[in-house]
Amino acid sequence: MDVLQLLDDELKTKSNWLLNDKLRHLYIRSCQLFSYDSRYRLFLKLYPEKVEEIVLRKIDLRNVEDFRVLCTSYSRYAFKRMALELLNFEVDICGQNHEYNMFKLDNSRFIVDATNDCDLERAKMGLKTEGYYDLDIGRSINNKRVEQIDKKINYIEEEYFDDKLKYLINEFEDEYSYKDVSEIDYLLAKLYRVKELFDEINVFREYSDAMFCVNHLLDEFFEKSVNYFKRNKLYEMTKDDDYLFRNLLDVTFRGEKFNFLLEKINGKYEFYNVSLNEGKHYKKELQIF
Query: Is residue 194 domain-shared with residue 112, that is, in the same domain?
Result: no
Residues 167 and 147 in one domain: no
Please write the tens of the pLDDT for every residue from 252-268.
998 899 999 999 999 89
SS3 138: coil
- For residues 181 and 273, state if they share a domain: yes
The total number of residues shown for the chain amounts to 289
Is the model's pLDDT at 60 over the cut of 90? yes
Range 91-94 contact pairs with CB under 8 angstroms and sequence separation of 24 or more: none
| Domain end residue (candidates: 108, 131, 152) | 152
pLDDT for residue 69 is more than 90: yes
Domain boundary among 129, 152, 175: 152
Separation of CA 203 from chain center? 11
Examine the fold and report which residue of 152, 173, 206 is the final residue of a domain before the chain moves on: 152
Cα(198)–Cα(177) distance, integer angstroms: 23
Domain count, the chain: 2
Please check whether residues 148 and 165 belong to one and the same domain: no
Are 17 and 137 part of one and the same domain?
Answer: yes
Q: Give the pLDDT mean for 139-165.
A: 95
pTM over 0.85: yes
| Domain extent for 221 | 161-288
The 3-class SS string of 1-42 reads CCHHHHHHHHHHCCCCCCHHHHHHHHHHHHHHHCEECCHHHH
Q: Each residue of 88-103: pLDDT tens digit?
A: 999 999 998 999 999 9
